[in-house]
Structure 1
């Protein structure tokens, strides 16, 4: 925190910018723009100030400058990096739209109920219920309405029956739908139809996309705020009646939305120059003066921002049979600085393609100006050296530039600005080499970093969504979990087969780091698993219907989105489907030593001396890669928030943000992958038991008791207030597992009367427990309990204190536990002494009533990665 000088301007919602120091006293009322998968506003959680900081200035090749402390993180194509780790030539991400300086709007009332006195009272009620009447110039809803009125003036239509139409590209119409919905109205779905057009005798087809709102109240509101009614060609509309009373940034909301609908995109003219961006209208001769006034009012607004326009063009056009028409046109002067000012402060709203093209235009023009500036400096220096008597040959060798340029600078009496060199690309060629993100960010290179001050006051802000809750406390994507399979085998029946069984399991179930799984598949199959979960395994013969009924969420998470999982993660996962992995993941054959609750034990199918199988693993490399992918995104987009967290290992994205939604979809997909992973291991385990014991798995009654997920976040409804109020929450169970009590609707039907099975693994020398969800869990722990014994020491410390071979030998000789692993180091890392006392962990859970003891198990055979 505390990284930026007070004059650093922060981009705020609605295209405003404000010096960061001024946010100290008003940050709670503001929303800063966050560059993520989209450029979105986010609530500011805090603002801080610190004196006496050392500050450096970073300048890019496009001439952009920022001052910051050495530890201030900058977004780069490789994630967030502090300034002190950046060097000349490194790439950083910039978002070139600067917006306009914030001004407090003059407060005045735009509309009251009196303005709708002739309307149906239900219409008025529809507006008052949505807090749209009275409507004031300082209302946030008014800012959305300004954009909608501006765009509608350009590319909308007032239809019969209260239908208000907007026309545009699908991506742009989605933004319009969001704003309509934010006002409390229901936008339609996206419509599309093929249209034929005839221009100057040339006929062509195009697809027309549209969205409508069917509320008469919404339509009347837009009309009262200046949206033209009837045929626009015959209308005498100008800018809205209140336009001159607005602040510049509010005027820009209206104007930029109109430009988004009507202005042409940045395009190359010739000789590395751009065309003038233009808007035009056709009006009948009777109302042409109003049209010209409309253009003049827009030009005056731009002039106040220092943006020059060309003279308004007015010329006759092909007239209709019943009236004469006039064409009016307004253009932005196309010198570089003027275009940069226009694109970076006003630009286009509700037109994502033009906005992206405008970002490219800004960077192109800045690059061109930087090149021209350098050539002008060389020309001046060359002339000065010549005037001082330096021979031309030495002057030419001084600069990395062609000789003709130097000669003309020395002897030609250059009076104008140099042109860019012949090999400087044209605009369209440049656009092919530049990528602009959906958040309107683009890469540029660092030109220089220099120290500027040792004693400067610096500031920082932390952003968060206004819901103030998070997808996760710690960043988690891998669904580690555990499933237990019961059998009708007794410990006596298994004795004598331990060594054969552990060897066969180790041979047939892939484990350890890297690739290798029971099923190897293409990415298409991985995507199907990510979307469908255990249902995929059922279809392909790796499961039976009963398995799904005894799995949390029936083995498929709603909201899983394979498209949010990276290709790299899918590539890692496709060769690991059905594998244990390494670390604390294992497959363990156990015997039931104690049953504490006979009634629940019967419901779970557990009895003393019975053999069960415990499988503990997650989503392997796919989950790990997904975690890494989103961690980097969070570091880029929410570094201010991360700096507030109590541990540097924690990361979070604000709930409601696009990144959070993307992460949640990816996490649910990884959960599905993990369930399939455990299902395939269980299926293979059944086959191993069949070979070792010479009976079918059905004869041995090898049924899934339950599969419960660890370390995941889920959307759930919980009572959090004394008055019984329910709220939808993200419940992140890190180091925890779900423990829903009897009667909860999400407990499988087979166990609903007694409560959800909860499986608590211990160490491979101490055994594990089966609990049921306790009655107090919903009140005390959001339906949760511990998910295992938990470590007492790090893996490094464990390897220093234990020798794997000794641990294996002691377990076998002293406790008749057969362990097999990929390496002795793995056994040492997982030695019984490394873990907490599982008996004490479960005692606490049982005493609190969040997870009640049902049965205890003890290891017989264990395989590890």
Structure 2
């Protein structure tokens, strides 16, 4: 075979294992694929060849762009791709290094602080003034928005859940699942996602007016006025954030607040709810007390009981007078003629909702079942004296008007004569929200309860229950309609009943018209209380929902935001969405030393090496730590007791990139890295204890310190969220600043900064700093592994000779000097995306330990196929800019892998058949990384060895493996 055709692209065979896409059209150079015919069949099965061809359009590409034997489709630039691009007249491209971009259409609604929502596109120009809601597992909290991006049209997909939540997103946008953040491409129908059913109210800019001025306190002590002025609540404007906090406090006080001694204001609730009230008190500049606890006796209808009462107080006279000025009654509420604050009708709907939802949190009953599948109408009531009853009626009438403006219907205000108290004749007033399902959905999802987590959790369940119930009713309506149509067409009732998985009596009534109104859910449908027992709502008010459909939704302009909160997610359309390299350590242990202790070892490693999505690392970093790591790399690890000098001597670049510039790394990226120092992450990142099974070059293996049956440890991970954020930050800035260059490229995902531009220099400095971070990340994991081995084998790591063989980066662009056309030497940005450097002996960049033998290369395989140690081949400089493959390369997506494999079965098979012990955060992770998901690593390495770009030295096989 001299040519190979793949979906309109023809490759010409140059020699064995070398295939070339000739230069044509806008290509600046040819493209080459290094592969056997079998591997080429797999490489051509996705968009790898087209992406490789597109990469040659980048200005300054020299010789050719290359795809390694493990190549597969990436984002813009193929994984396993290498390109040497001139540093004078070329460019540097984040897409050719690797980056993370997650996008949503502009119409996606984002939850904001103060119970608001807005379309994503509306945040442009004001995102820095806003806060998005973040679900961090422990709470639902507002977080500053630090980033807003807009991108060209991209393919988007619509996700629909069992309760009817819908959202459109690009395939790489992460969604929160039980296993952590998972990209849409990796989700399937039947998977579980976390949703936030509360929607809030559309954002509207408040009309600006002065609520309180100094004149409203002219009779007060001047010192009290100064206190209010010092806290920026005097004068008080309708557009002040402090005013929004005060609206909530005031609403809650009218329900569960009271006055005490001089200056005292008391609030009563459960401890978790009081924390939220205390937080708002602090936001307006006042100091709350601690939370008090006391047991109190009560008598209701002759029944005595005790309960624990929780409360806190403020002792500021200024704060108390501020509440009074806003409308809080000064005397006992029952006899105080208070009604709605006079300014309330001048506010936006979302501001009024702050006031009323806080009142509902204190006074309204929680969602509960009336008759199994129907809910009671939520009600509020208050007792007033006969003389102040009209004020109370007006208070509730204003409430009715507000709810009505949102389309929420209420019952008529009820009046009940009550037993007179010791001082006054009294009247009981009551207002309820109509309990029609759609009406309750509007109430619970737009207004709901504030300052009451129990009621809020219950309302989340109510929303999901009502949505589920509505879907079931719609399903039964559809069946009824179809059954009627079939009957009208002459079908027999028995045949019609056989068509549907539903009660036969239901079909009969549908045919013969024996039903008034909409059908009810069937008997098997759970009642509300039963449903509540079946589902759990998180402390952040997220609830599980099942994906029922993922469908293409065309191409749309897409947007994204980035929040400062370390959870790096936000709530969009009710969904919680988000916003490497390898090293090997040697030991003098043999396989005999480990056999029989595999389970103990894998459990200890899993317990002591942080893994999975989110935060948590070996070292709890400070801001200064992150700066030092970005600047000095492995030198920081040595200074802080996480490394020994020999570790630096056996690391690429001795573990320090001198071109790093921490000042070019965004604060957001630094914040993401701060709590992830020394952590594996997730996906294909892993830690694996291995045994050496084969040695192919005895002399080189001896130089590397490897021998058959020896135990080694391989660590595969990168710079975690910090590196992703660096690439994301610069990609988006490059898209805007160098849009002219972007228009010349066939794929917008290849966005690049011209060499010599400020952005190119800034990105290079930031990327080098991220490389330093990645080296330290792997070093801290190695330090932890040493400690685990010491405990398990009861000897020091020095006794076990746990020494670093080598650490090499996988996703990187480096300034290197290479020979290009006609023997000319040029400085290039060598982009290696999912490829590894493979320098032969004599190359000056090699550490002295390997200058005479060549660079060690570590190529991980799958859990069931083993890995390889190579050394830089003599032909690598001329063929691949000193590069080779970095792994086996994926054959199928994570979604397909989860459909093909079951994590538990994979673990059992590996243990029973191959004696490999695997432990992971979830079965899904194991399924995604099953041996059958990857190309044949033996074939990948065979091609590398045959081409002389990476010479086989030794093969290893897993003993135990931990994954994130």
TM category (shorter chain) comes to 0.5 to 0.7
* Alignment check: 8 A CA contact 1:47 1:460 kept: yes
Supply the distance in 2 between the matched residues of 1:355 and 1:764 (Cα, whole angstroms): 63
Deviates more, 1:345-354 or 1:283-292: 283-292
Which runs of 5 or more residues in structure 1 are unaligned? Answer: 471-475, 483-501, 534-550, 556-563, 570-575, 584-619, 648-666, 690-761, 768-790, 804-864
Match of 1:5 in 2: 105
Contact 1:123 1:216 in 2 (8 A): yes
Which residue, out of 94, 103, 114, partners 2:204?
103
| Pair 1:624–1:342, CA change in 2 (3 A) | farther
State whether residues 276 and 332 of structure 1, in contact with CA within 8 Å, keep that contact through their aligned partners in structure 2.
yes
Match of residue 33 from structure 1: 133
The alignment status of 1:221 with 2:322, answered yes or no, reads: yes
Deviation at 1:6, TM superposition (A): 2.4
Cα drift, residue 411 of structure 1: 1.1
User: 1:140 aligns to what?
Assistant: 241
Is 1:462–2:561 an aligned residue pair? yes
Q: Which runs of 5+ in 2 are unaligned?
A: 1-100, 570-579, 611-616, 621-637, 643-674, 681-686, 693-712, 735-748, 750-777, 801-845, 861-866, 874-960
Q: Partner of 1:160: helix, strand, or coil?
A: coil
TM-score (norm 2): 0.54
C-alpha contact 1:4 1:69 (8 A) present in aligned 2: yes
1:686 shift after superposition: 12
Alpha carbons 1:510, 1:516 under 8 Å: kept: no
Which of 111, 124, 129 pairs up with 1:24?
Answer: 124
Instruction: Pick which of 677-686 and 382-391 moved more.
Output: 677-686
* Per-residue deviation, 1:511: 12
Give the equivalent residue in structure 1 for 2:145: 44
Structure 2 CA distance for aligned equivalents of residues 363 and 221 of structure 1: 39
Note if contact 1:513-1:581 (Cα within 8 Å) is conserved in structure 2: no
Question: What does the per-residue CA deviation read over 1:41-60, in whole Å, with 9 as the maximum and x for residues that have no partner?
Answer: 12222222334333332222
Which residue is 2:338 aligned to? Answer: 237
Which residue of the partner structure matches residue 85 of structure 1? 186
Checking the alignment, whether the CA contact within 8 Å between 1:44 and 1:461 is kept in structure 2 is no
Alpha-carbon contact 1:16-1:100 (below 8 Å) kept: yes
Separation (CA, whole Å) in 1 of partners of 2:409 and 2:567:
44
Q: Secondary structure at the match of 1:358?
A: helix
How far the C-alpha of 1:228 sits from its partner, in A, is 2.0
Q: 1:401 to 1:514 in 2, by over 3 A?
A: same
Offset of residue 238 of structure 1:
0.9
Q: Tell me how far 1:80 sits from its aligned partner.
A: 2.9
Output one character per residue of 1:415-470: Cα deviation in whole Å (capped at 9) or x when no partner: 3110100111110110111111112111212222333434x3x2322222289999
Residue-by-residue CA offset, 1:560-608 (whole Å, 9 max, x unaligned): xxxx99xx99xxxxxx9xx99999xxxxxxxxxxxxxxxxxxxxxxxxx
Going from structure 1 to structure 2, the CA distance change for 1:678 and 1:71 (only over 3 Å counts) comes to closer
Per-residue deviation, 1:256: 0.1
Count of matched residue pairs: 596
1:127 partnered with 2:225: no
**Is residue 424 of structure 2 the alignment partner of residue 313 of structure 1?**
no
Q: Is the 8 A contact 1:237 1:291 kept in 2?
A: yes
Q: Distance in 2 between matches of 1:21 and 1:251?
A: 25
SS state of the match for residue 189, structure 1?
coil
Could you tell me how far 1:264 is from its partner in structure 2?
A: 0.9
SS at match of 1:179: helix
Distance 1:799 1:553, change over 3 A: closer
Tell me which of 412, 416, 422 is aligned to 2:523: 422
Q: Determine the structure 1 residue equivalent to 2:870.
A: 800
**Distance in 2 (alpha carbons) for counterparts of 1:624 and 1:101:** 45
Distance 1:385 1:123, change over 3 A: same
CA drift of 1:76 comes to 2.2
For 2:167 and 2:797, the matched residues in 1 are separated by 63
- Deviations 1:801-849 (Å, cap 9, x if unpaired)? 299xxxxxxxxxxxxxxxxxxxxxxxxxxxxxxxxxxxxxxxxxxxxxx
Contact 1:150 1:257 in 2 (8 A): yes
1:765–1:134 distance in 2 versus 1, CA, 3 Å: same
Corresponding residue SS for 2:416 = strand
| Contact kept in structure 2, 1:163 and 1:215, CA below 8 Å | yes
SS of aligned partner of 2:226: helix
Q: 3-state DSSP class of the match of 1:239?
A: coil
Note if contact 1:509-1:681 (Cα within 8 Å) is conserved in structure 2. no
Task: Mark the CA change 1:580 to 1:242 in structure 2 (over 3 Å): closer, same or farther.
Answer: same
CA 1:509–1:179: 2 relative to 1, 3 Å? farther
Specify which of 322, 339, 347 is matched with residue 246 of structure 1.
347
Q: Name the residue aligned to 2:362.
A: 261
Aligned partners of 1:687 and 1:47: how far apart in 2? 50
Q: Matched residue of 1:367: which SS?
A: helix
| Aligned 8 A contact 1:508 1:684 in 2 | no
Deviates more, 1:182-191 or 1:370-379: 182-191
Q: Judging changes above 3 Å, is the alpha-carbon distance between structure 1 residues 119 and 58 closer, same or farther for their aligned structure 2 residues?
A: same
Question: Which residue number corresponds to residue 159 of structure 1?
Answer: 260
**Whole-angstrom CA distance in 1 between matches of 2:413 and 2:355:** 20
Residues 678 and 386 of structure 1, relative CA distance in 2, 3 Å threshold: closer
| 1:128-527 paired onto structure 2 within 5 Å | 128-454=229-555, 456=556, 458-465=557-564
Report SS of the residue matched to 2:377.
coil
- Residue 673 of structure 1 deviates from its aligned partner by 8.0
Determine the structure 1 residue equivalent to 2:115: 15
Give yes or no for contact 1:158–1:164 (8 Å, CA) kept in 2: yes
Counterparts of 1:70 and 1:517 in 2: how far apart (Å)? 37
After TM superposition, the structure 1 = structure 2 runs for residues 832-851 of structure 1, keeping only pairs within 5 Å, are none
Shift of 1:69: 3.1
SS class of match (1:290): helix
Supply the distance in 2 between the matched residues of 1:191 and 1:388 (Cα, whole angstroms): 72
1:101: Cα distance to partner? Answer: 0.6
Please give the secondary structure, in 1, of the residue aligned with 2:510: helix
In structure 1, C-alpha distance between the alignment counterparts of 2:192 and 2:208, rounded to whole Å: 44
Q: State the shift of 1:181 in Å.
A: 1.6
Pair 1:55–1:156, CA change in 2 (3 A): same
Measured in 2, the distance between the counterparts of 1:506 and 1:129 equals 71
| CA shift in 2, pair 1:436/1:468, >3 Å | closer
Distance 2:163 2:605 in 1: 47
Q: TM-score, length-normalised on structure 1?
A: 0.59
Contact 2:253 2:267 in 1 (8 A): yes
The structure-2 alpha-carbon separation of the partners of 1:208 and 1:552, relative to structure 1 and needing over 3 Å to count, comes to farther
Provide, for residues 199-221 of structure 1, a one-character-per-residue CA deviation record: whole Å limited to 9, x for no partner: 11000000000011121111111
Query: Does structure 2 conserve the Cα–Cα contact (< 8 Å) formed by 1:510 and 1:580?
Result: no
**Shift of residue 11, structure 1, vs aligned partner:** 1.0
State whether residues 200 and 447 of structure 2, in contact with CA within 8 Å, keep that contact through their aligned partners in structure 1: yes
The CA deviation at 1:370 is: 0.5
Secondary structure of residue in 2 paired with 1:14 = coil
Aligned partners of 2:223, 2:543: CA distance in 1, in Å? Answer: 49
CA 1:640 to 1:180, structure 2 compared with 1: closer, same or farther past 3 Å? Answer: farther
